[in-house]
Structure 1
Amino acid sequence: MSTSAAAQTRDKLHLQLARLFRNKIATGEWTVGQSIPTVEELETLHGVSRTTVRMAVHALVDEGLLETRKRGGTRVMGQPYRPPSFLLPTSWQELVAFGEQIRQLTLHTADDCVPPIPAGFPLPGELAAAYVHFLRVHTHGKARFCLSELYLEQQLYPQLQAQLERATLAQALGSDPSRIATARQYLSVVPADELIAEHLGVALGTPLMQALRWACNPQGLIVYWAKVRFISEYVHMEMDLLK
């Protein structure tokens, strides 16, 4: 391995280790005021170099979460910022309500597009000839936490255009229940790609929660397709296990 490649690997490891240490503080495994294990102990425990451990610790020192003392080791100084956690919608009604909690910014629109349905994914209905594509980022306060790639059947767009200036696509579509006969959602965990890194500011490969959503009209035509990716800390799920 070249020197530059080794340095890149070490940098990725220290970011992963810093994320792990940050989580230990957030969950209370390392409490405020407590001394954390020594560099040597952390090196052995995680099977990484001393340099990697020190880089991870220094990252959290810079965040104000840890304090390193010359003769007293390293102790926890504070809790990391905990963003609000939104309940992931599990129905169209919840999806509409979710849109009322967040702000959105349209980054790009384009006509005559086709949804990029993943290879091997069962086609949930018949594709229309063309769709309008929206790229939107969603925020809470100043923080960007979600990126949506949305596709609306192109002939529906003129009917919804005015609403879409202030509403989410789900809200606009849901304003007339006769437009939708079936709607489903598929959840998974995916790594951040270049588009996410650019618009949400997270490192490549960061685990994200992804929702693929679609809706079909009574004739079985896919009128709505969405690929929505969330920074995981901002969302959670709840389910009634007795249903």
Structure 2
Amino acid sequence: MKATYREVKADILSKITKGHWAPGSLIPNEIELAESYGCARATVNRAMRELADDGLIERRRKAGTRVRSSPVRQARFDIPLVRREIEDKGAEYRYSLASRAIEEAPDWLRARLQLDEGARALHLVCMHYANGDPFQHEDRWINLEALPQAREADFMQTGPNEWLVATIPFSTAEISFSATLADTSLAEFLGCDAGAPLFTIERATWFEGDANTFVKLTYRPGHRMTTRY
């Protein structure tokens, strides 16, 4: 039975999101793919057109088709990069990984991301600094079912936010803003007193129904957020 264009698209998408075809890598041409999937070239062409429209691949005449280095988002907003936010203020950026562990997703995370029981997640705690001063505390979980390559990713030099933006797009995002009070741990990370008021953003993203990540971002006292549309 010949593969449908939806099956071809799903398999190519899986190869991209799971790292078999890395960002920037050349994808086999349509004739090769048609032979591989046992279908007509027109079937492959339709799958490739949709992937290009989704912003996952870039097609160029004579140059071939490549996985985009930074997938284009089709959502109404982009995921901001804290590095860029700090450097745009004219400050020097520094990043630090505080902890890293692979854990069974806790109940609250499974409920938030609709994960299966027993799902494994990569838990990262990071700090971002502006001119040496604490700027943002990042408490992040990455779904290893959707992104198994995160197990081997080096987050010592580059933060998970930048890695995710370069690795996988999102089709759905959920964001909430709130105020919180610094507990002892956050106070130590952010260089403030316990009980100090802090601004917090919680963000979860999905791609075509599969959860990518959940993150809680907490900012130093006095942080001000400005958005532009």
Question: For residues 117 and 131 of structure 1, what CA distance do their matches in structure 2 show?
Answer: 13
SS of the residue 2:222 aligns to: helix
SS of the residue 1:94 aligns to: coil
Question: 5+ unaligned residues in a row in structure 2: which ranges?
Answer: 1-75, 88-92
**How much does 1:200 deviate?**
1.6
User: 1:43-88: per-residue Cα shift (whole Å, max 9, x none)?
Assistant: xxxxxxxxxxxxxxxxxxxxxxxxxxxxxxxxxxxxxxxxxxxxxx
**How much does 1:189 deviate?**
0.9
SS of the residue 1:236 aligns to: coil
Paired position in structure 2 for 1:91:
77
Question: For residues 195 and 106 of structure 1, what CA distance do their matches in structure 2 show?
Answer: 15
Change (3 A) 1:92 1:166: farther
* Residue 188 of structure 2 is aligned to residue 198 of structure 1: yes
Paired position in structure 1 for 2:131:
141
* Residue 115 of structure 2 is aligned to residue 127 of structure 1: yes
Question: For the Cα contact (< 8 Å) 1:132–1:157, is it kept in 2?
Answer: no
Question: For the Cα contact (< 8 Å) 1:124–1:222, is it kept in 2?
Answer: no
Among candidates 183, 186, 202, match of residue 212 of structure 1: 202
Change (3 A) 1:238 1:181: closer
Letter in 2 for 1:92: D
Paired position in structure 1 for 2:227:
238
**How much does 1:206 deviate?**
0.6
Which structure shows the higher helix fraction?
1
* Residue 137 of structure 2 is aligned to residue 151 of structure 1: no
Change (3 A) 1:200 1:159: closer
Change (3 A) 1:184 1:213: same
Question: For the Cα contact (< 8 Å) 1:99–1:167, is it kept in 2?
Answer: no
Percent pairwise identity: 19
Paired position in structure 2 for 1:81:
none
SS of the residue 2:163 aligns to: helix
How many residues get paired?
Answer: 146
Paired position in structure 2 for 1:186:
176
Coordinate RMSD, CA, aligned: 3.0
**How much does 1:172 deviate?**
1.4
- The runs of 4+ residues in structure 1 deviating greater than 6 Å are none
Question: For the Cα contact (< 8 Å) 1:215–1:225, is it kept in 2?
Answer: yes
**How much does 1:196 deviate?**
0.6
User: 1:188-232: per-residue Cα shift (whole Å, max 9, x none)?
Assistant: 1111111111222211111100000111121x2322000110014
Letter in 2 for 1:150: R
Paired position in structure 2 for 1:107:
98
**How much does 1:130 deviate?**
1.3
**How much does 1:91 deviate?**
3.3
Question: For the Cα contact (< 8 Å) 2:121–2:141, is it kept in 1?
Answer: yes
Paired position in structure 1 for 2:166:
175
Question: For residues 181 and 150 of structure 1, what CA distance do their matches in structure 2 show?
Answer: 19
Letter in 1 for 2:115: L
Letter in 1 for 2:200: Q
Question: For the Cα contact (< 8 Å) 1:92–1:183, is it kept in 2?
Answer: no
Change (3 A) 1:223 1:115: farther
Question: For residues 199 and 218 of structure 2, what CA distance do their matches in structure 1 show?
Answer: 6
SS of the residue 1:166 aligns to: coil
Change (3 A) 1:93 1:228: closer
Question: For the Cα contact (< 8 Å) 2:94–2:132, is it kept in 1?
Answer: no
